Amino acid sequence: MLKFIQNNREITALLAVVLLFALPGFLDRQYLSVQTLTMVYSSAQILILLAMGATLVMLTRNIDVSVGSITGMCA
């Protein structure tokens, strides 16, 4: 099992993210309701836009992690 985790980091990370979202959904039925997901999305809109911009910069290999400081200057 340890070799699988070391050899397949992407799959392991994907499984961890799926588990982090699925486990609370099994424990609390209201966790994955439309109302909860709408509330989470509405509070995360700014972070989503910042992440999309940072992703574009990183995909073009111009690594820049100054999203926090630029957001602070614009606020």
Distance CA 70, CA 32 (A): 33
- Write out the two tokens for 68: 């926090």
pLDDT of residue 73: 67
pLDDT of residue 64: 66
- pLDDT by residue for the chain (75 residues), tens only, comes to 778 777 888 888 888 989 988 888 888 888 888 998 899 888 888 888 888 877 877 778 777 667 667 667 665
pTM across the whole model = 0.46
Distance CA 36, CA 30 (A): 7
pLDDT of residue 65: 65
**How close are the terminal C-alpha atoms of the chain, in Å?**
47
pLDDT of residue 11: 86
